[in-house]
Amino acid sequence: MEQELVAIEKGLWTNDAPLYRDSLIRDALLVFPETGVITRDTAVAAIREENEKGRRWAEVRFDDVRCLKLADDAALLTYRVTARWEHEPSAISALASSVYVKRVEAWKLAFHQQSPIGAA
C-alpha cells in the first residue's frame, strides 16, 4: 500500500493537471500556506496556469515517509518533501500529509496539507 500511495503522491508533483484531477476525489481539500484551503478544481486550475507559464518542479525528494492504514479503504501518508521549481534557485522544504480513500479499487486523494519547515 505504501509504495502505491507514494507513487501516486510523486505523480501529483509532476504538475500534470489531468492526472491531478483524476487522482483526487471530487470534494478533496488541500491546504497550502500560500493559498489556505482550496478545492480540487481550484488546484487543477492553478496547475494549468503554472503549466502555461512553463513552471514545473525540477527536483522533488521525499524523506521520512510514513504510511498508516486508517481503515480498509483509508490511509494516511506523511513525508518531508524538498522540492525546487525550475525557475527558482533554491528549494522549499515542507512536511506533507495526505489522506487517501479507496474508490472502485483505486486510491484517491481526499486531503493534503503542507507545512513549511524552513530553508532546504
Q: Domain of 78: which CATH number?
A: 3.10.450.50
Considering its fold, how many domains does the chain have in total? 1
Cα–Cα distance for residue pair 61/93, rounded to 1 Å:
10
Cα–Cα nearest to 1, from 54, 67, 92: 67
In tens digits, what is the pLDDT along the chain, a chain of 120 residues? 999 999 999 999 999 999 999 999 999 999 999 899 999 999 999 999 999 998 899 999 999 999 999 999 999 999 999 999 998 899 999 999 999 999 988 999 999 999 999 754
- Look up the domain containing 113 and give its range: 2-119
Report the predicted TM-score, pTM, of the whole model to 2 decimal places. Answer: 0.92
Cα–Cα distance for residue pair 114/112, rounded to 1 Å:
7
* pLDDT for the residue 120: 46
Q: What's the start-to-end Cα distance of the chain, in Å?
A: 28
Q: Taking the CA atoms of 95, 101, 107 and 110 in sequence, report the sign of the dihedral they define.
A: negative
